[in-house]
Amino acid sequence: MQLELIEKLKSLEASSENKPWSEFERIQHELISEFLSHMDDAVEPLSQVLVDPSSSFSTLELTLKIIEISKDERFIPGLIRFLAKSDDDDFCEQASDILFDYGDPATSLVIKALEDDFGKKVYNRWLVQTLNGSGGREFVEKVLNDFLANPGHYEGWFGLSHFIWLLANVGDKESSLRPVDQLLGLKFLSRASKLELRRLRKFITDKESYQKEMEEDDKKKVDLFSTLVLKGLLNSSLRELVPDGPRPIIDDNSREEYLPLLFSIERLVFAEYEENPALKDSDVMELLKNVRDGIWRDYEGRNALERSFITGLKLEISGMADLAYTKGEVSACISHILNSVKRHRESGYERDYLEFIKDFFKGGERVRHEPPLDPSNIDGGND
């Protein structure tokens, strides 16, 4: 019976080919009913389908639908294994929602899986957001207390901005605010993390006000790209868009503070290289130096490359208005990347830096969260 059901499941798409949608739905519903009536035989093979890399889109889709309808707790381990292996966001979101809905029966197994992951410095956001119930609340508080006591262990892999939002779901107002306020007191947290903590605090204390602020922020982002606002933005100098402020030194201890801006600048450089493959590292050095030295004097670029880069920089900085980077910080970030280009250029290959960031942005088509800057680069001057 097991093999027969699984074969029917895997062949559903082929058997329904060239049939009207109503016929496909009928066949699908009959198959779901058959699985549900033989659930004792179906749990193990369906769990295997989840982790089988050869399972087709249609097979996985129907398998998750059967599991969701059945509400059978025996699928919990299989769903956890699926979330540990899958990189399909749509399916992971569906599996994560199913696990969350199990509540306490799933929580202990989820926590064990997360403890194993965290011990290996692996952060699986889909598995994290399945935490539910009192056990989930205790685990979140335990992890955040350990973060406060031992932050170095979590550096470079832990999704703090994602994890802290669990406090909005797993605890009461008082117990949720306590770790938020403790985290806000940490001096080493980046401004992006602190901004997220302030948003969470607002959400916990006043959901209505938080929602209103988020709607206003969304409207500003939409307005930013409206014709009139965009025209006004591009006709303004960068000097008018960025507040004054001192120039910091960017080193290993402070680099995380500036990752969003560093990432944006590197991405602009990569975009120019994609547009013009003839670009060399020496061109990037000249570009960055001219922009850094001229933008606060309303310099708009002496060629198409510089004008395009400055336009992109205006859009990027305007889109990060919440982080409130200053003139000094923008200059320091440009210099930090300029120093990275110089070090790569010492290899003697004329596109060493450009190929380096190309590998970063296109390598495996993976989404990254840090720019590919050489961590040994310390920006301490005006080179």
Is the pLDDT assigned to residue 364 strictly greater than 50? no
217 falls in which pLDDT band (50, 70, 90)?
confident
Q: What are residue 136's phi and psi, to 5 degrees? A: -65, -40
Single out the residue in 182, 205, 228 at which a domain terminates.
Answer: 205
Same domain (yes/no): 145, 258:
no
Q: How many domains does the chain have?
A: 2
pLDDT (mean) for 365-371: 38
| Residue scoring higher pLDDT (10 or 251) | 251
Pairwise CA distance, residues 110 & 106, whole Å: 6
Same domain (yes/no): 358, 305:
yes
* CB neighbour class for 1 (10 Å; exposed up to 12, middle 13-18, buried from 19): exposed
Single out the residue in 188, 205, 222 at which a domain terminates.
Answer: 205
Is the pLDDT assigned to residue 381 strictly greater than 60? no
| Residue scoring higher pLDDT (379 or 97) | 97
Residue 169 domain-assigned? yes
Is the pLDDT assigned to residue 330 strictly greater than 90? yes
Positive or negative torsion for Cα 255, 256, 259, 260: negative
123 falls in which pLDDT band (50, 70, 90)?
very high
Positive or negative torsion for Cα 65, 69, 70, 75: positive
Same domain (yes/no): 280, 171:
no
Residue 170 domain-assigned? yes
Write the secondary structure of the chain as one string of H (helix), E (strand) and C (coil).
CHHHHHHHHHCHHHHCCCCCHHHHHHHHHHHHHHHHHCHHHHHHHHHHHHHCCCCCHHHHHHHHHHHHHHCCHHHHHHHHHHHHHCCCHHHHHHHHHHHHHHCHHHHHHHHHHHHHHHHCCCCCHHHHCCCCHHHHHHHHHHHHHHHHHCHHHHCCCCCHHHHHHHHHHHCCHHHHHHHHHHHHCCCCCCHHHHHHHHHHHHHHHCHHHHHHHHHHHHHHHHHHCCHHHHHHHHHCCHHHHCCCCCCCCECCCCHHHHHHHHHHHHHHHHHHHHHCCCCCHHHHHHHHHHHHHHHHHCCCCCCHHHHHHHHHHHHHHHHCHHHCCCHHHHHHHHHHHHHHHHHHHCCCCCCHHHHHHHHHHHHHHCCCCCCCCCCCCCECCCC
Same domain (yes/no): 191, 246:
no
Please state, for a pLDDT cut of 90, what percent of the chain lies above it: 31
Same domain (yes/no): 268, 345:
yes
For residue 271, give the nearest of 226, 316, 225 by alpha carbon: 316
Pairwise CA distance, residues 146 & 73, whole Å: 31
Report the mean per-residue pLDDT for the chain.
82
- What is the model's pLDDT at position 332? 93
- Tokens encoding 139: 């685990």
269 falls in which pLDDT band (50, 70, 90)?
very high
CA 147 to chain centroid: 20
Same domain (yes/no): 160, 245:
no
Residue 383 domain-assigned? no
Please state, for a pLDDT cut of 70, what percent of the chain lies above it: 84
Same domain (yes/no): 198, 315:
no
Same domain (yes/no): 260, 324:
yes
Same domain (yes/no): 200, 282:
no
> 179 lies in which domain range?
141-205
Residue 226 domain-assigned? no
Same domain (yes/no): 199, 247:
no
Residue 109 domain-assigned? no
**Residue given tokens 């992971």 in the structure block:** 92
Pairwise CA distance, residues 192 & 186, whole Å: 13
| Residue scoring higher pLDDT (2 or 269) | 269
Pairwise CA distance, residues 247 & 226, whole Å: 32
Residue 173 domain-assigned? yes
- What is the model's pLDDT at position 3? 53
Axis crossing angle, helix 304-319 with helix 259-275, rounded to the nearest 10: 150
Residue 195 domain-assigned? yes
Residue 218 domain-assigned? no
Same domain (yes/no): 284, 195:
no
Same domain (yes/no): 200, 241:
no
